[in-house]
Amino acid sequence: MDLLYEAATVHRLHHDPNTVQVSTLLSIKTGGCPEDCGYCPQAARYHTNIEGNDLMGVPQVKAQALRAKAAGSSRVCMGAAWRNVKDGPEFEQVLEMVRTINKLDMEVCCTLGMLTENQAKRLAEAGLYAYNHNLDTSEDYYKDVISTRAFEDRLETIDNVRKSNVTVCSGGIIGMGEALEDRAGMLVALASLNPQPESVPINALVAVEGTPMADMEPIPIWQMIRMVATTRIVMPQTQVRLSAGRTEMSREGQAMCFFAGANSIFAGDKLLTTPNPDVNEDMDMFKLLGLTPQKPFTKISQPKTVEASESAYQPLGEKPRWTRPGHTITRNEAAKKKGNLAN
């Protein structure tokens, strides 16, 4: 309860607690990926019955974007099952998709794998708003999940994106067999980026038959709530996205995540290849909770440097944070009691 109180307090210092950013995730090229990410059904080496497709055409993507906008989304995130972006006709086609969606007055995000500095700048020139490149887990646990790409490769791509004017979206997945220390390590890595990511998706593993993680048990909702709350505290100005795994969460569980600091979701019945709640269900939930979809290009409290983000706590100083009958805890005392993030 102390964690929820702390997270909700930090959330309200930096965000409108009743506004949630809504994105639609669109798989523009599905399956056939050469990577071996243990959680991913799009890896060519796994037998997951995923129906692959070549790169979508621009008109088809535009039609999907218009449907997403009509349903309340402010952002379209296009994902391609590539290890890295290759210059050529397909990349030119993606650039045209970005230009097309941008003209619809919608934010455009891409997740296309590893990216060079020049490719990031070209995407920026086309009007890209955000680039997603998840760290997935801690650096220590990373090699147990993926062997075809190094943790440092992911950091390099994020650095290339930062050299353009495109915002960074980077998060990870819990429920892959990692220890609590690994969840903490992932958050430390994300929070240590300068500046911190503008958006951090927190995903619960969706176990898919045919992948190495097919037999993983779904994580309890309380672990998801704890992860969202901790993310909010260590990255107070970032938008925290409640991402994969929502089909297994009750409305009450999702409401607790919103209370703890989540202020972004993916809408639509599919996240690339895994199920997601129907958009009408989400809008009903928003109405029930008094939540409003965020308008596109809304200027939120932007993440600064790590040093500036840490200073967000200073106005609270040594004022009592929690009180109980006959007992008061100051901020420093509470920090000592809480220990590290893994606890």
Per annotation, catalytic residue among 110, 122, 169, 183: 169
Confirm whether 257 is a catalytic residue.
no
Question: Considering 109, 154, 183, 321, which one is annotated as catalytic?
Answer: 109
Q: Which of 77, 162, 183, 246 is catalytic?
A: 77
Name the nearest CA neighbour of 109 among 66, 77, 64: 77
The token pair that represents 84 in the structure block = 């890295």
Catalytic residue among 154, 183, 241, 321: 241
For residue 110, indicate whether it is catalytic: no
Decide if 241 is catalytic.
yes
Angular region, 122: left φ>0, alpha ψ -120 to 50, beta rest: alpha
Strands 107-111 and 130-132: parallel
Instruction: Round to whole Å and give the CA distance between 177 and 190.
Output: 20
Please give the Cα distance from 177 to 191 (Å, whole number): 22
* Residues 114-135: b if buried by 16+ CB within 10 A, e if exposed: bbeeebbbbbbebbbbbbbbbb
Quote the DSSP letter at residue 220.
Answer: P
Candidate list 37, 110, 226, 321, residue with the active-site label? 37
Catalytic residues: 33, 37, 40, 77, 109, 169, 241
